[in-house]
Structures are given as structure tokens and as C-alpha cells.
Amino acid sequence: MTPEVQALLDRRARLLGPNLPTFYDEPVHLVRGQGVHLWDAEGRRYLDCYNNVPHVGHCHPRVVEAIADQAATLNTHTRYLHETLLDYVEALTATFAAPLDTAILTCTGSEANDIALRMAQAVTGHTGVIATDHTYHGNTMAVSQLSRTNPPPGGTWDSLAFVPAPDSYRQPDAAAHAAGFAQAVQDRIDALAERGHGLSCLILCPYFANEGFPALEAGWLDPAIAAVRKAGGIVIADEVQPGFGRLGTHFWGHQRAGIAPDVVTLGKPMANGHPVGGVVTRPEIMAAFRERFRYFNTFGGNPVSAAAALATLRVVQEDGLMENARIVGEHAREGLRRLAERHASIGDVRGSGLFFGAELVLDRAARTPATAFARRVANAMRDRGVLLNFLGIHYNVLKIRPPLPFSRGNADEMLDTLDRVLTETPLEP
């Protein structure tokens, strides 16, 4: 680690407090980004294979210009009238199937999920929530309760119940896997009823991103969702990670999963780095929420945020970035499958569009997670100038999720580097 990086880490700890997450054993000190590339303070260039926030590429000129123009004209809170917010919500909801055609804009995905939970309370009159046991939905007091990996002091609220996260790699019988998931949901519905909470909602990422994006066919969730609907609950799809065309085949993860959620929450890529999140729902759920809770968000959907989000959406649509995600993602997964022929550590290759990866194992037959190895691989990739990371139930799945203008050439560079790193890194626990 250079003395400059160590000094920054020390300063962060002193000013911001301890236990702050950073990526990689040697954190990267970034000073500039353009397209799919990033540069550190020493002038070293990195290929960004990880960041979904700069959805249409780092510092995309059209988004930068929209932010700068609007910031130079007017920025104020949201109790005045302004067309750009309405133009954006019209353009956004046009990407959803009816009747999902009303929206609230927030500043983060956490807020969006918090609102979604309150919408579920408003329409059902109940408080019970079901989520998977390896998810992350954000950091407000309510949604942080849904992260099993970070249990709150005093224990998790009694109104929450968790089902085991899907794992397609270790449960290859898709029908039995889906039935097992639905049965677990039903058991939690019964438990919440017994505990006096009733069911307000099932909240999930339709791509199960944090769970390691298991390969699940469209319709896999149908039995679980039928159980939720029968119990009077609603379905919330957290699209913070898979949304906005990243999956290549569909604009939204829930469309790819073949489900029709009642509420959809949005964040990260929505305005290419400008802090914008959102909640999309049916008019009657919006009305129930607005009548039950008087809701106002000072910054959510302000003129600059709306302009940034509108420019980002337009670039995705006009530059054909969803189609690029489909083509380049397919090319990259073919490359990963070829690497798997030579590297026994690659147990599974999966994903969709430009959200994909490889599950790394110590032993293919036993499917033993190579957790420490995955970490070493991510660090070695970083040292060779390619940024990616790892996640999943066992934290052994390489997570590759670049800005959408990622090209075949970029994918080949990532694959060549991975080939070398997998060759050089000993496959040890």
C-alpha cells in the first residue's frame, strides 16, 4: 500500500469513524472516470467491470450537460410545480406494463424500499414482511432490519420473516426448488398470522442479485407469489440492481422473471450517479399511501435530479444500451464457459445481459464454495487493472456488472486478465 493510500485510510477512519467498507485489500483511490474506465491518483487506468451506478458510462456528456444546465437555471425543493419531474415519470412509467403508471422519486434506494413497505401496510392493513435470508434492501431503520447479514441490536422485528435464498447451482431440479421456495413462503405466512402480524408483502429482488443471481426460469416464482396473493399480501420488486435494461432481454428484472409486482423500487443506476431513487406502483396503491401517510421529500425529484434521470433514461433508450448488454453479455459468458474448460475453479457460469459472473469452487463435484479464493481473485484482478467483485450466499460468485457501454473488446480484456489470474492464483481454501 502506498503511503498516500494509507494516509487517506487513516484520515477516513479519524473523520468518518471505524468499520467503513472499502473494496479490495489495497483500496483504490479514484480521481477520474470516463465511459467504462477509471483512473487512480497515480494515473493508472482501470477497466470498470463492476459499477452499475454510472449506468450509461462514467461522466456521460449528455447527463453531465443536463445536470449542469438545470443546476445553472433552477434547483429547488419539490413543493413548486416543474414539468421535468412529470416528463420523467411519464417516460419512466412508459417502460412498465400497465397499470404501473404512478411514481414517487426519492434520493436513495433505501428510502424507496421504506416507502414500498409503508404502501404495503397502507393497502393491506398488516405489518408482516417476508424477504430472503441473504438480501439487502438498504439502510433506513426499517429496511436495515431486512438484512440478515447485519443483525440489529435487540434482534430483528417480530413482524419480519425470512425464507432461504434460492440457489440454482445446488438445487438443479427447478420445479422442486420452486415448490420448496413457495412452501417456505407459505410457512412464513402462517407464522406471521400466528404471531398476529398478518402479511403485508413479499419483498425481493426479482433477479436475486445479492443472493448470487441464481439461474431461474421465468415463472419460477409463480407458486410463491400465488401464496402471497392468496394471503392478501402484495409483491414488491426491488429493481435497484437489475433494472434499466441491464439484463439485456428485458428492461426490468420482474419482466424477465415473468412476474407482475404491485410495487417496484428503483435506485442506483437511475440518474448515472446523481442520487435518485423511486417507487412505481398502481394508482390505487399510490392513493392509499398518499391518503394514509402525508409524504413529502425535500430533494426527491427536484429539477436537477429529474433532468439527470431523464437524460440517463434517454441515453439507454436512444443508444440501444439494452441490446448492447444482451450481445456483449452473451459474448462474455461464452468466454467464461471457455475458461471453465481449463479452470476447474469455475463451477458455474450464469447471469443475463451485463450482470453475470462465475461461481468459484474448490471442488466441482462437491460444489464446495471457494470463498477465500474468490476474494484473492478479485484482489488480483484489481492489481492487474480490472475492477470486479464477489457476492452470493457463500461470497464466492464473481460479480461482473459494468457500465452498459461495455464492448466486446472490454469483455475480452476482462476475460484475458481473468484467465491469467485464475492460472496464477493457487486454488486453496
Q: Which residues bind ligand PMP (CB under 6 A)?
A: 108-110, 113, 136-139, 205, 209, 238, 240-241, 267, 277
Nearest Cα residue to 397 out of 157, 167, 105: 167
Give 147 or 410: the residue with its C-beta nearer to ligand PMP.
147
Kindly tell me which of 57 and 267 has the beta carbon lying closer to ligand PMP.
Answer: 267
What are the beta bridge partners of residue 58?
A: 35
Residues 6+ apart with CB under 8 A from 225: 202, 235, 259
- Measured from the CB of residue 265, what is the shortest distance to ligand PMP in angstroms? 7
Residue 40 pairs in a beta bridge with 30
Q: Kindly tell me which of 135 and 417 has the beta carbon lying closer to ligand PMP.
A: 135
With contact defined as beta carbons under 8 Å apart, do 337 and 360 qualify? no
Q: Closest approach of Cβ 50 to ligand PMP, in Å?
A: 12
Cell of 230: 392468496
Query: CB of residue 271 vs ligand PMP: minimum separation in angstroms?
Result: 11
Phi, psi dihedral angles at 312 (to 5 degrees) = -65, -45
Residue closer to ligand PMP, measured from CB, 89 or 270: 270
DSSP 97: -
Residue nearest to ligand PMP (CB): 109
Q: How far is the CB of 391 from ligand PMP (least distance, A)?
A: 10
Q: Please give the Cα distance from 385 to 417 (Å, whole number).
A: 9
Shortest gap between Cβ of 363 and ligand PMP (angstroms)?
A: 30
Helix, strand or coil, per DSSP, at residue 7: helix
CB closer to ligand PMP, 86 vs 295 = 295
Which C-beta is closer to ligand PMP: that of 84 or that of 113?
Answer: 113
Residue 86 or residue 141: which is nearer to ligand PMP going by CB? 141
Instruction: Name the grid cell of 96.
Output: 412498465
Instruction: Please check whether residue 148 is in contact with residue 130, taking contact to mean a CB–CB distance below 8 angstroms.
Output: no
- CB burial readout 238-249, b (16+ within 10 A) else e: bbbbbbbbbbbb
| Gap between the Cα atoms of 14 and 242, Å rounded | 35
Distance in Å, CB of 419 to ligand PMP, minimum: 29
| Prior bond of 99 cis (ω within 30°) | yes
**Lookup: cell for 148:** 440478515
The residue among 110 and 168 lying less far from ligand PMP, judged by its C-beta, is 110
DSSP for residue 160? E
Whole-number Å distance between alpha carbons of 162 and 150: 14
Q: At its nearest, how many Å lie between ligand PMP and the CB of residue 279? A: 12
Nearest approach, Cβ of residue 112 and ligand PMP (Å): 7
